């Protein structure tokens, strides 16, 4: 049976959602071992077990949380060397991709990033990856072992299957040469809003809003609908809203019940992060805007006049 | 300080693109210096202005990538290295990083600057691989970079804010698009760029072998598309009504 490893990402001691999604992907392929490194790994192990990891290799060592990428790379390289897994899955997230990149270069095996799905048949490992901005899907075959594959968040749904993982400590000495990029301080800027990825409704705004002074129209509608607000990269790059709100290829992937896009053109790099939403409503004054072609209801009109009226109507209906 | 900036030529983000018959992204359309790398060059130039030294641009790509380097030289960079080979189309991230590392190593830079991800490949895997192959730490997603003697400090953008991350000695930094507004090349800069050196290196020069790809593209198919729904014109009131009906049908309100 193939041995499949997953890298469990810990974010300030808590398991990142992608780590459980990876198990849904891994479970169908073989025997699953998760690697959890850093404070919180012990607690994470229980959850990893319930989601399908048969075994968790873990270390609570603070070094993994204090320095970027290199300590985790050292640990994984030593473990891979010893046990030679067939497949090693990472989340395609900012933190995991740095570890995966270093590891793939150190082992000389390369990797496949941004995978939508992974498949094992016989001893061949394949992954499907968005190509040419998402208009196409390419199938890649990994030629070396371990096959390192980075899976896009929200490509698999995390699922509890019951079970308890066996735990084994990771005993790797992290050399001084790997404690170099040190995290001195962590600053939190994001407000109280519901997490974008978990929100039942997402209202996103783009450059069509005209300026940062109009973004409150998006926030107010999101709040009235009990959802979260998001943004296109154009307005994140322009500094209107923080990066945490960006939806798309280089931002978050969301899958809410309803996604409302206001003043967003619908570039492929944006839609790849939201097109799996159950219902999509777009407001864009250009009838030819690509966003209208993927939405269930496309409204050709001015977001600046429609948003406040819509918010008022929602408030009137819900009595809030 | 010696600063190396990696730069890539990409299809113009504002242009129309198509795929070649072999399903690689056509490189004969409009191409430009990657806008992310322009930010990298800007950061490099600002550091040079503050601390003195030299900014060297390194690119791997077809011969015409010289144009991307030339553009960076017009902005004020000092010289360029172009790694070029006939076998490059479809080079994977590991091969790219290996070629860049081999060309950069002899330069012994104090700092290497890359963009967090490129506009066409856009998976951001080259920089961490490059950092590993150069044996330096990586300071990533920088929205701010400061150098003080041997110490490099960045603000690293995170989901909920940022981290302050620091390293001593040679490092690789990846910069976000928001970090700095790239300067325009002045006429004087464009003139000066003509006489700046661009050294061309082949795979043979670097002793590289590209015969064994780490992954193989087996097939390319159109992505599944969502079916288009209804598109309506707002006449003042109908739009809000229709959206309300849709939200109600979806049981959101
Ligand atoms: C490598 C790479 C990664 C990227 N990653 C992302 C990503 O993660 N997320 C992302 O979003 N983008 C991403 N992009 C950028 C993407 O290609 C687009 O440039 C971006 O999504 C455009 O943002 P926008 O729709 O807000 O702006 P624009 O494309 O400028 O669209 C504005 C729209 O607003 C409409 N409009 C104008 N006025 C009004 C009005 N009063 N009322 C209603 N509509 C109006 C216009 O008709 C237009 O369609 C990426 C690009 C690259 C190359
Ligand atoms: N062929 C290349 N030549 C020079 N730099 C590159 C090349 N490919 C990637 N890079 C650098 O790595 C960054 C991220 O690219 P990528 O990993 O392809 O998303 C780019 O913005 C460049 O700075």
Cα–Cα distance measured from residue B36 to residue B229, given in angstroms and rounded to the nearest whole number: 35
- pLDDT on residue B160: 79
Q: How far is the CA of A19 from the centre of ligand 1 (A)?
A: 30
Residue B26 has pLDDT above 60, yes or no: no
Chain B residues with CB inside 8 Å of A70's CB? 137
* Percent of chain B residues past pLDDT 70, beyond the cut: 91
Q: What three-state secondary structure class fits B45?
A: helix
Portion 63-102 of A in contact with B at CB < 8 A: 68-70, 73, 92, 94, 97-102
Section B200-211 average pLDDT: 86
**With an 8 Å Cβ cutoff, are A279 and B250 in contact?**
yes
Residue B10 CB contacts under 8 Å (≥ 6 apart), including other chains: B31, B32, B33, B34, B118, B119, B120
Question: How buried is residue A213: exposed, middle or buried, by Cβ count under 10 Å (0-12/13-18/19+)?
Answer: exposed
First to last CA, chain A: 56
* φ, ψ of residue B37 in degrees (nearest 5): -70, -30
Residue B28 has pLDDT above 60, yes or no: no
Cα–Cα distance measured from residue A255 to residue A103, given in angstroms and rounded to the nearest whole number: 31
**With an 8 Å Cβ cutoff, are B122 and A250 in contact?**
yes
Residue B190 CB contacts under 8 Å (≥ 6 apart), including other chains: B74
- pLDDT on residue A250: 84
* Percent of chain B residues past pLDDT 90, beyond the cut: 68
* Distance from chain centroid for Cα A14: 15
**With an 8 Å Cβ cutoff, are B218 and A141 in contact?**
yes
Which residue did the predictor score with more confidence, B90 or B221?
B221
Chain A residues with CB inside 8 Å of B162's CB? 186-187, 189
- pLDDT on residue B55: 98
Instruction: Say how many residues make up chain A.
Output: 320
Q: Is A243 in the pocket of ligand 1 (CB under 6 A)?
A: no
- pLDDT on residue B6: 98
ipTM, two decimals? 0.89
- Between helices B66-75 and B35-51, what is the axis angle to 10°? 40
B234 touching A (Cβ < 8 Å): yes
- pLDDT on residue B89: 60
* Distance from chain centroid for Cα B75: 17
**With an 8 Å Cβ cutoff, are A104 and B243 in contact?**
no
Computed over its alpha carbons, how large is the radius of gyration of chain B?
22
- Would you place residue B186 in the very low, low, confident or very high pLDDT band (cuts 50, 70, 90)? very high
pLDDT in tens, chain A (320 residues): 899 999 999 998 999 999 999 999 999 999 999 999 999 999 999 999 999 999 999 999 999 999 999 999 999 999 999 999 999 999 999 999 999 999 999 999 989 999 999 999 999 999 999 887 777 899 999 999 999 999 999 999 999 999 999 999 999 989 889 999 999 999 987 665 678 988 999 999 999 999 999 999 999 999 999 999 999 999 998 989 988 899 998 889 999 999 999 999 999 889 989 998 999 999 999 999 999 999 999 999 999 999 999 999 999 998 86
Report the gap between the CA of A219 and the closest CA in chain B (Å). Answer: 17
- pLDDT on residue A54: 96
- Using a CB cutoff of 8 Å and minimum separation of 24, what contacts does A282-290 make? A283/A307, A283/B239, A284/A208, A285/A208, A287/B231, A287/B233, A289/A265, A290/A265, A290/A266
For residue A250, the 8-state DSSP code is T
Cα–Cα distance measured from residue A167 to residue A134, given in angstroms and rounded to the nearest whole number: 39
Cα–Cα distance measured from residue B19 to residue B24, given in angstroms and rounded to the nearest whole number: 6
**Tokens 């910069």 belong to which residue?**
B175
- pLDDT on residue B227: 84
**With an 8 Å Cβ cutoff, are A136 and B166 in contact?**
no
Chain A residues with CB inside 8 Å of B102's CB? none
Paired sense of beta strands B138-148 and B198-201, if any: unpaired
Residue A149 CB contacts under 8 Å (≥ 6 apart), including other chains: A87, A88, A89, A90, A111, A112, A113, A115, A118, A125, A127, A142
- pLDDT on residue B18: 59
Question: How buried is residue A99: exposed, middle or buried, by Cβ count under 10 Å (0-12/13-18/19+)?
Answer: buried
Q: Locate the chain B residue with the closest alpha carbon to A244.
A: B159
Least confident of A153-157, B20-24, B84-88, B178-182: B20-24
Report the gap between the CA of B108 and the closest CA in chain A (Å). Answer: 18
- pLDDT on residue B175: 97
A287 touching B (Cβ < 8 Å): yes
Residue B222 has pLDDT above 80, yes or no: yes
Burial A228-262 (b: 16+ CB within 10 A, else e): bbbbbbbbbbeebbbbbbbbbbbbbbbbbbbbbbb
């Amino acid at each position: 049976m193939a041995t499949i490893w997953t890298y469990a990402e810990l974010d300030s001691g808590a398991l990142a959602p992608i780590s459980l999604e990876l198990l849904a992907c891994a479970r169908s392929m073989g025997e699953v071992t998760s690697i959890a490194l850093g404070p919180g790994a012990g607690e994470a192990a229980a959850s990893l077990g319930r989601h399908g990891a048969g075994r968790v290799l873990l270390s609570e060592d603070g070094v993994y949380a204090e320095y970027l990428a290199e300590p985790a790379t050292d640990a994984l390289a030593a473990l891979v060397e010893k046990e030679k897994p067939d497949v090693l899955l990472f989340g395609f997230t900012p933190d995991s991709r740095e570890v995966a990149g270093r590891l793939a270069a150190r082992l000389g095996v390369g990797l496949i990033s941004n995978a939508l799905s992974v498949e094992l048949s016989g001893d061949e490992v394949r992954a499907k990856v968005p190509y040419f901005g998402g208009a196409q899907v390419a199938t890649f075959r990994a030629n070396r072992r371990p096959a390192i594959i980075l899976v896009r968040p929200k490509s698999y749904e995390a699922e509890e299957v019951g079970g308890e993982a066996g735990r084994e400590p990771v005993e790797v000495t992290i050399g001084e040469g790997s404690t170099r990029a040190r995290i001195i301080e962590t600053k939190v800027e994001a407000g109280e809003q519901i997490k974008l990825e978990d929100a039942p409704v997402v209202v996103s705004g783009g450059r069509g809003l005209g300026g940062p002074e109009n973004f409150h129209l998006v926030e107010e509608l999101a709040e009235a609908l009990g959802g979260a607000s998001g943004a296109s990269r154009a307005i994140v790059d322009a500094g209107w809203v923080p990066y945490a709100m960006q939806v798309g290829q280089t931002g978050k992937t969301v899958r809410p019940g309803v996604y409302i896009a206001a003043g967003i053109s619908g570039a492929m790099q944006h839609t790849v992060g939201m097109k799996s939403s159950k219902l999509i409503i777009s407001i864009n004054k250009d009838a030819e805007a690509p966003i209208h072609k993927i939405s269930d209801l496309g409204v050709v009109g001015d977001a600046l006049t429609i948003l406040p009226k819509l918010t008022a109507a929602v408030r009137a209906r819900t009595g809030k | 300080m010696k600063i190396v900036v990696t730069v890539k030529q990409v299809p113009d983000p504002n242009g129309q693109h198509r795929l070649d018959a072999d399903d690689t992204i056509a490189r004969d359309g409009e191409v430009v210096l990657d806008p992310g790398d322009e930010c990298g060059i800007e950061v490099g130039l600002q550091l040079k202005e503050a601390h003195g030294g030299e900014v060297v641009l390194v690119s791997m790509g077809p011969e015409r990538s010289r144009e991307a380097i030339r553009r960076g030289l017009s902005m004020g960079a000092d010289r360029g290295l172009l790694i070029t080979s006939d076998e490059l189309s479809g080079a994977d991230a590991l091969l790219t990083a290996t070629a860049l590392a081999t060309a950069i190593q002899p330069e012994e830079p104090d700092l290497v600057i890359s963009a967090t991800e490129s506009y066409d490949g856009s998976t951001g895997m080259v920089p961490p691989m490059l950092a590993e192959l150069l044996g330096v730490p990586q300071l990533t997603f920088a929205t701010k970079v400061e150098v003080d003697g041997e110490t490099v400090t960045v603000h690293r953008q995170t989901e909920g804010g940022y981290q302050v991350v620091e390293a001593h000695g040679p490092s690789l930094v990846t910069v976000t698009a928001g970090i700095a507004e790239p300067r325009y090349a002045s006429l004087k800069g464009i003139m000066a760029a003509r006489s700046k050196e661009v050294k061309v290196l082949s795979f043979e020069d670097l002793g590289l072998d590209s015969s064994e790809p780490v992954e193989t593209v087996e097939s390319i198919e159109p992505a599944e598309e969502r079916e288009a729904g209804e598109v309506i014109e707002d006449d003042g009131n109908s739009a809000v009504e229709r959206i309300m009906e849709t939200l109600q049908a979806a049981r959101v309100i």
